[in-house]
Amino acid sequence: MAGSSGVGGGAGGGQGAGAGPGAALRAPRAPLLLAALVLGAYCLCTLPSRCPPAARAPVPAPARAEPLRAVGSPGAPGLPVASGPGRRRFPQALIVGVKKGGTRALLEFLRLHPDVRALGSEPHFFDRCYERGLAWYRSLMPRTLDGQITMEKTPSYFVTREAPGRIHGMSPDTKLIVVVRNPVTRAISDYAQTLSKTPGLPSFRALAFRHGLGPVDTAWSAVRIGLYAQHLDNWLRFFPLSRFLFVSGERLVSDPAGEVGRVQDFLGLKRVVTDKHFYFNATKGFPCLKKAQGSSNPHCLGKSKGRPHPRVPAAVVQRLRDFYRPFNRKFYQMTGQDFGWD
């Protein structure tokens, strides 16, 4: 991996009197094997999750509802009712990015709305499960009634080159939500998540730069995700800017009701989720819900959210700020929003 220090060197010192030639051959392999295990575990941790199992086989449209009969009066016609609990539909809106930007928080906040039905897990359909087909994808979706919106979120869609064309093929009217965050902070948060699963990972500095503090290594996904302008260019080949809403990950923390209000407007929903639903959790450092969906108890995101970041030298942070600045400014121009990262 670019930026990682080399592994090797001699065994150092002479061999013991009882050591045979086999020992001399085996000794240098130990550090190489250790490095291979560490980097292999890192690669596994950075891969998206597996394709989720379908809830059941694709469900056809429900049969036409029978008229409701009045209880105790056989044959008497009653009011018509909807057939069953609704039907599975393709999502009308997707949270497509970005990883470690606040997508999980936004999804949980939106699920409080009675007209939003969202898949809880990330299906990764448009990036790595596409060969399973649209019928399989629809079978994953929650059932909705007329007037309700079906949603899902998979943050890796935003950086997957094939995703925009595939989503456009499903529906060119899909509404797209992108939660963005200062790319330097986002990269460090991304690294912290992977480090929690792979303690032997090289330092952030070693992965972010080639040759010490040489050129920034854009091949590293934690850095590459933050090139928002480049990724958006790919999406604008398929969708007009009017199909997008860009949500500030920072404002989602400082003013969750305001940002969620913008999302509700974008989705054409009444502003049901408001400031009365949130309280600030000082321990975690971000807002939590006063009541979870379907519960009267407060709800904060899991312990994996709000984890402390590793200490990164100031010189490394400044180099990354300088690197991202022109990309950020282009992104501001493209979206018509200044996110205040510079």
The verdict on whether residue 104 carries a ligand-binding annotation is: yes
3-state secondary structure of 228: helix
100 assigned to active site: yes
pLDDT for the residue numbered 293: 60
Q: What is the mean pLDDT of residues 132-141?
A: 98
pLDDT at 73 over 70: no
Mean pLDDT, the chain, whole residue set: 80
pLDDT for the residue numbered 308: 76
Q: What is the mean pLDDT of residues 184-205?
A: 95
| Alpha carbon distance, N-terminus to C-terminus of the chain | 29
The verdict on whether residue 308 carries a ligand-binding annotation is: yes
Statement: the pTM of the whole predicted model exceeds 0.85: no
DSSP states along 40-75: HHHHHHHSPPPPPPPSSSPPPPPPPPPPPBPTTSTT
CA angle, corner 88, sides to 116 and 160, nearest 5?
75
CATH (residue range 87-186+219-308): 3.40.50.300
The verdict on whether residue 189 carries a ligand-binding annotation is: yes
Q: Return the percentage of the chain with pLDDT > 70, whole number.
A: 72
Tokens of 206: 């070693």
The contacts of residue 174 (CB under 8 Å, 6+ apart) are: 91, 92, 93, 94, 167, 168, 239, 243
pLDDT at 146 over 50: yes
Domains of the chain, residue spans: 87-186+219-308
Q: How confident is the model at residue 281 (pLDDT cuts 50, 70, 90)?
A: confident
